[in-house]
Amino acid sequence: MHDFTFYNPTRIEFGKGKETHIGTYVKEFNVESVLVLYGSERIKQDGLFDRVTASLAAQGIRYEALGGVVSNPVISLVREAVKVVKENNLKGIVAVGGGSVADSAKAVAAGATYEGDVWDFFIGKATVSEAIPVFTVMTLAATGSEMNPYGVVTNEETQQKYNLGAPSLYPKVSVINPELMATVTPDYLAYSAVDIFSHCLDLYFTAKLFPEFTAALIENILATVMRTTDVLMKNPGDYDARAEFAWASTMALNGNTFVGVAGNSFDTHMIEHAMGGLYNVPHGAGLAVVLPAWMTAIKEQMPERFERFAQKLFGASGADAGIEKLTAWFSAIGAPVTFAEAGLSSDAVDPIAENAFGIAKLWGLDQLFPQQRIAEILKLAVK
């Protein structure tokens, strides 16, 4: 068991109607004005925007609102939001949406106390220290952003999908109300399931040291995701399945799966970030294409782990059986598993590999992943 630090101060308020208390939660932190950041205008039609802002108003919290955050969120909107925060002297942010909105909110929170360009934090030109407090009301469970200090944003000009992170970016309070997730479309439910899988498998198949307890925790998360996704595809209104799916998603990237683990990298995310940055493929869709190819490419490195995966998740034996069954499950829930299914041509292989290599350098993975190696992995997904 490798040495570790575990620290996660985010408070989770989980359950029905919790978003109607967001004003109280914000007030507890003595935050008297916020930016309400969101994605599509749908939240104004379904009443969520009104419930959130009414709760803020009831506590006397002044707010400005800004929508328009998109899947694969962009730095231009983050810059716009930073401007709104600064111009209105806002002291906090309430993110209402999925991982894209939460991730953008973290970037805005960091940018709010910084004089330079917020993109500096993503390219290592500046380090986040201070940030204004972030609160979230989640409408999609996938990225785990509600209980971690990370954010991923795309720079549209440079086509770089990069990340930032700092302890000050842990949300103070995150509301997870599974009812708000009941209208997620089947394709985005599938992408979310794949995203959770990739958070877990990036660790599971790369870590050299892996305590049994942590490995079993990851298997529990994955089994929960498979079980609840299958239920939700048939019955989107199943509250308990929606709730367990949401919690599995949070647990997959809130620090628990890293306990005692060492020697891991974050391969599929590195490659998918390139794909998303260049071609705006939905994150989970890109990951569904990359994961089976990557597993095939690395399976010889950790035969025991692959055997265990096949057994624990599918009651099967052998690395190939595990990969096949996972790929089949991705297909069954409607996630693309080839370049063609994701709407990409084989011409995209080299640009993605080149872009991913840029991320590999930033993450210190360039020795492990020369550009040619990334291209070889991608080619396994061109069918």
Q: Which residues bind a copy of itself (CB under 8 A)?
A: 1-9, 11-16, 18, 178, 211-213, 216-217, 220-221, 223-224, 227, 239-240, 243-244, 247-248, 251, 256, 259-260
Residue closer to a copy of itself by CB (options 238, 324) is 238
Neighbouring C-alpha atoms within 13 Å toward the C-beta of 342: 31
Residue closer to a copy of itself by CB (options 28, 350) is 28
Residue closer to a copy of itself by CB (options 123, 259) is 259
**DSSP per position, 238-295:** -HHHHHHHHHHHHHTTSSGGGTT-BS---HHHHHHHHHHHHH---HHHHHHHHHHHHH
Residue closer to a copy of itself by CB (options 45, 129) is 129
Shortest gap between Cβ of 191 and a copy of itself (angstroms)? 21
Token digits of residue 168: 């000050």
Residue closer to a copy of itself by CB (options 195, 244) is 244
What residues does 152 pair with on adjacent strands? 163
Name the pairing type of β-strands 160-165 and 150-155: antiparallel
Name the pairing type of β-strands 92-97 and 150-155: unpaired
Neighbouring C-alpha atoms within 13 Å toward the C-beta of 313: 30
Helix (H) / strand (E) element for 86: namely helix 75-87
Shortest gap between Cβ of 267 and a copy of itself (angstroms)? 26
The closest of 86, 93, 78 to 153, measured between CA atoms, is 78
Shortest gap between Cβ of 225 and a copy of itself (angstroms)? 10
Shortest gap between Cβ of 116 and a copy of itself (angstroms)? 27
Shortest gap between Cβ of 11 and a copy of itself (angstroms)? 4
Q: How many CB atoms lie within 10 A of CB 240?
A: 10
Shortest gap between Cβ of 217 and a copy of itself (angstroms)? 6
Residue closer to a copy of itself by CB (options 16, 62) is 16
